[in-house]
Structure 1
Amino acid sequence: MWMTLHTDYALRTLFYVGLHSERRVSIHEVATAYGISENHLVKVIHRLGRGGFIQTVRGRGGGLTLARSPDDIRIGDVVRHTEEDMTLVACEPMDENGRACVLARQCRLRGLLGQAVGAFMAVLDDATLGSLLTEDDSIVLRRIFALAQVTEG
């Protein structure tokens, strides 16, 4: 399974915002922390906001906060919301020219791949943002972000 950069950036954004839950963080801050494009991140944040994962406040004193508790943000839900297509292969009974796949009647691969995606998502559904942001990990991650800012600044 291959996830898009959009999903990667969405998960990274949630990690960063979750680590700094005591305050609002800016898009610039998140982009700088990860070394990613602010323009691309704006699209990601817009989608996270529409999905109810983060709240955004515009203007002076604005920024990003989690829209709900980290324990209520399932990683599987985030992936489903940000990924456009979860299929592993373009396996269709008919191709774009209207020809039937010669394996369609006997092929069990499509069902097997569907089960594999289901198992993958079940693992992600068992994890929450809160379960990934344990207190010990949060301390280490905050240090990493602080070091990154010092080396760039």
Structure 2
Amino acid sequence: METSKGHSFANELSIMAVRLIRWLRAADTGSALSDPLTSAMAVIVHSGGIAPSALAELEQVRRPTITKVVDELVSRGLVRRERHATDGRATMVVATEEGLALWRAGQLRATAPLAERIEALDADELRRFEEALPLFARIMEPPAP
């Protein structure tokens, strides 16, 4: 069975993504958080605040599991629960200043090996890399309804 260029590229990109994540995780030996806590923290930070049910969906876990994760992050002072701005019955999970600082420091530490490799690219390679990034971002967006 012959595969299309799209399938070939998707396969290569998938393999590279897994290798990249493993490489960066292995290089970041100073993380104060487990992988599940780090992942949830990233979603919370990037979202600016998120409902627990949406966090569970994005993390692909059940609500009781995400409740335990959020409870742990709250106990560490990294996130807080707030009432939803328009629905007083709902809560949002929002990063605290301490949580933001910890996450930013972790991001700098975790991406340092990749930053070094990117900075070692020659000018033409760097230009091509920069041009490709918006394409990667675009293919990661959910399809329009």
- Greater radius of gyration (CA): 1
TM-score w.r.t. length of structure 2: 0.46
TM-score normalised to the size of structure 1?
A: 0.43
* Structure number having the greater helix percentage: 2
> Whose relative contact order is higher, 1 or 2, with alpha carbons under 8 Å and at least 6 apart?
1
